[in-house]
Structure 1
Amino acid sequence: MAVLKEKKLGAELRSVLEAAFPGQEARYFLPMSIGNAPEHADEGAALILEGRKTLTSSPLWDYLDGTIPFVGALGVLLDGAGQPRGVVETTCVEIMPFRAVTEDMVRAYGEGERTLEWWQSVIGNLYRTSAIRHGATFTEDTPLIWEWFRVVRRL
């Protein structure tokens, strides 16, 4: 499952960040939810909150305006109903091709069987489908934004 960034940081979610981290507006980033269905978002939020999932990846086409995550960014983690469940802080960002994923990265990804084969198959299929929807081409060399994060506040 990929992390989907919401289109914008609305007033309600901005207030969540302001309450948790006042005066740090330069660090506020887009909210995130996992997958493309409410049950995926619920499952993903649980994995993140329990500390099992500390890495995600996103294709560049998910960031149409070119604004990508940055170290120190603060985002609201949403569940399947769009409700805030936590605040995450980005700790590392790298742009690497799909084929660059390693066993350690797959474990940090925290989803599914946590094996390289599972990740390449399942997540690869998600990216292939996403590429078609966006009129893009997906290959082993397609660059992905790899974002490591940690939970800094439970809501």
Structure 2
Amino acid sequence: MGGLKGRQTPHRRMKPSPLTALYNESIVAAMWKEGQMDAELRCVLKAAFPGEDARYFFAMSIGSAPEQADEGAALILEGTKTLTSSPFWDYPDGVIPFVGALGVLLDGARQPRGVVETTRVEVLPFGAVTEDMAHAYGEGERTVEWWRRVMGEFYLASATSHGATFTEDTSLIWEWFRVVRHL
């Protein structure tokens, strides 16, 4: 993934990622047991937002490698990345993000870096991405063309690995979020 035009920063070199891109399956699996958030992460949320248990959601991480998670966390914490998208196959239990949900942002060492709050959720087809959405996604060139090309390749590979079909009409869960606490 290339950097933003005219701006060279190390975290811009990361490869596109899911939560598809925010919820890395291996990290989420490690952080959840029997449908409950890992006790340590629940403590992080309880300390930051006591009495708000109904809002606690998944741990968040970008990418599939520690370096990507570090870079993704930086994009989120600096406010560059405020949107992500996920196919429904990333939520096998059917529990999807909801407005007001709180998640712990993890770095590549799986350490809490922040708390994010979901501010908006929409279900739209892959092909519905707009320039504003591609820009808010915060990765790569931040254009629709880049997003369709790179994320299209990612979703096609992801669909294949899940035994699913991917087309321009594949519904994605679009999640807007904001950082509510740096840790």
DSSP 3-state at the match of 1:32: coil
DSSP 3-state at the match of 1:58: strand
Q: Which residue of 2 aligns with 1:35?
A: 63
When structure 1 is superposed on structure 2, of 63-72 and 37-46 the one drifting more is 37-46
Alpha-carbon distance in 2 for matches of 1:139, 1:37: 26
Pick from 125, 130, 141: which aligns with 1:113? 141
Alpha-carbon distance in 2 for matches of 1:110, 1:25: 29
Alpha-carbon distance in 2 for matches of 1:84, 1:124: 30
Pick from 67, 73, 78: which aligns with 1:45? 73
Letter of the aligned partner of 1:32 in structure 2? Answer: M
What TM-score, normalized to structure 1?
Answer: 0.98
Pick from 87, 93, 102: which aligns with 1:74? 102
Q: Which residue of 2 aligns with 1:18?
A: 46
- CA deviations over 1:9-41 (Å, ceiling 9, x no partner): 201111100000000000000111011111111
Alpha-carbon distance in 2 for matches of 1:13, 1:133: 29
- CA deviations over 1:39-83 (Å, ceiling 9, x no partner): 111111000000000000001000000000000000000111111
Tell me which protein shows more strand as a share of its residues.
1
DSSP 3-state at the match of 2:98: coil
Aligned-residue offset at 1:119: 0.5
Alpha-carbon distance in 2 for matches of 1:108, 1:149: 10
User: Unaligned stretches of 5+ in structure 1?
Assistant: none
DSSP 3-state at the match of 2:61: strand
* Aligned-pair Cα RMSD in Å: 0.8
Ranges of 4+ aligned residues in structure 1 off by more than 3 Å: none
Alpha-carbon distance in 1 for matches of 2:80, 2:157: 26
When structure 1 is superposed on structure 2, of 4-13 and 66-75 the one drifting more is 4-13
Alpha-carbon distance in 2 for matches of 1:145, 1:2: 12
Aligned-residue offset at 1:116: 0.9
Letter of the aligned partner of 1:141 in structure 2? Answer: D
Q: Percent identity?
A: 74
Q: Which residue of 1 aligns with 2:115?
A: 87
What TM-score, normalized to structure 2?
Answer: 0.83
Pick from 18, 42, 47: which aligns with 1:2? 18
Q: Which residue of 1 aligns with 2:11?
A: none
User: Unaligned stretches of 5+ in structure 2?
Assistant: 1-16
Letter of the aligned partner of 1:74 in structure 2? Answer: L
Alpha-carbon distance in 2 for matches of 1:140, 1:14: 37
Pick from 80, 84, 91: which aligns with 1:63? 91
